Amino acid sequence: MKKLYICIVNVKKMDEKLIQKIAACKLFREMSEKEIGLTMATTPFRTKCFDKGELYALAGSECRNVDIVLSGKMMAGMSGPSGKFVKVATLSRGDIIAPAYLFANDRSMPVTVMVETDATVARIPLDSFKALVDQNEKLRWNFITLLSNFNGFLSHKLHNLSLLSVKEKIGKMLFDMAKRQGSNSFILNKSRQEIADEFGIQRYSVFRQLAEFQDQGAIKIEGKHITILDPKLLRNQG
C-alpha cells in the first residue's frame, strides 16, 4: 500500500495546481490564489495519499488533524450492531473531513470513512489550524459558515432518514435528480446498492419501490434512464 508525504514550507515551492485544489475548499472562499499561497506557506501541512479501498478512519477514532480533500472521493457511513449500514456523505475535492468534531469536547469520529477512489488530502495539524483561524478573520468566518452549513446538511439528512417512508425517500431522490439534471428525463447516476446505503434500507426495497412507481405509471425505467411521467402521482406517494 503506497502512501506519499510531501512537506510544504515555502510559497516558492508550492505548485499552482496544488493551490487551485486547496482553493476549492470553502474555507478559502473569497480568497485569491496569492492569498492562499501566502497563508499556506506559513502553515505546517503535508499532503497524504490514500489508495482506493483503503480505510481512512474507523468510527470512534480521534480527530487529530484537519484534512482537506484535494482529489478523489471518500465515503462516510455508520454501521449498527445488526450490520445495517447507512451512508452519511460522499466527500470530494474541497471537503473538510468531520469539521464539526475538530474542536468538540469529544473529538471521536462519528462515522467510518472509506476511500472510494485514489485520494489525496492536505493535512494540517489541529493546533496549527487553530492558530490560522485565530489570526485570519476571513478564514474564521468561512469556517463558521462551513460549520453552519454542515449542521444544516446533518439536520436535512436526519429528517430524510427518520421521518420519510421508503416511498417518500426514493420519490424525493428522483425529483432531486431531475432537478439537478434539468429534465424530467434523466440518468439514475447511483446504483441500487448506493441508494440503499444512502437511506439505510435493503437493496431489494429499492428495486421493489422503483418497480411499484413504474407499475403505477409515475415513472418509466429504461436501464439507467428514468422519465417522470406523472409528477403529481410521484409526489403524492407516502
- Indicate the residue among 119, 148, 163 that finishes a domain: 163
- Indicate the residue among 163, 181, 207 that finishes a domain: 163
Both 155 and 171 in a single domain?
no
- pLDDT tens-digit profile of 217-232? 999 999 999 999 999 8
Q: Are 1 and 73 in contact, with CB atoms under 8 Å apart?
A: no
Both 144 and 35 in a single domain?
yes
C-alpha 43/C-alpha 132 separation (Å) is: 7
The structural domain count of the chain equals 2
* CA distance between the termini of the chain: 47
Q: What is the DSSP letter of 209?
A: H
Decide which of 60 and 154 is more confident: 60
C-alpha 151/C-alpha 167 separation (Å) is: 26
Both 207 and 126 in a single domain?
no
What is the domain-level CATH number for residue 138? 2.60.120.10
Both 48 and 157 in a single domain?
yes
Mean pLDDT of the chain: 87
Q: Are 18 and 70 in contact, with CB atoms under 8 Å apart?
A: yes
What is the domain-level CATH number for residue 173? 1.10.10.10
The C-alpha cell that represents 6 in the structure block: 510531501
62 has a pLDDT exceeding 60: yes
C-alpha 59/C-alpha 36 separation (Å) is: 32
- Indicate the residue among 118, 134, 163 that finishes a domain: 163
- pLDDT tens-digit profile of 100-150? 899 999 999 888 999 999 999 999 999 999 999 999 999 999 999 999 888
> How would you label 72-101 residue by residue, b for 16+ Cβ within 10 Å and e otherwise?
bbbbbbeeeeeeeebbbbebebbbbbbbeb
pTM: 0.70
Both 139 and 186 in a single domain?
no
Both 113 and 199 in a single domain?
no
Both 102 and 186 in a single domain?
no
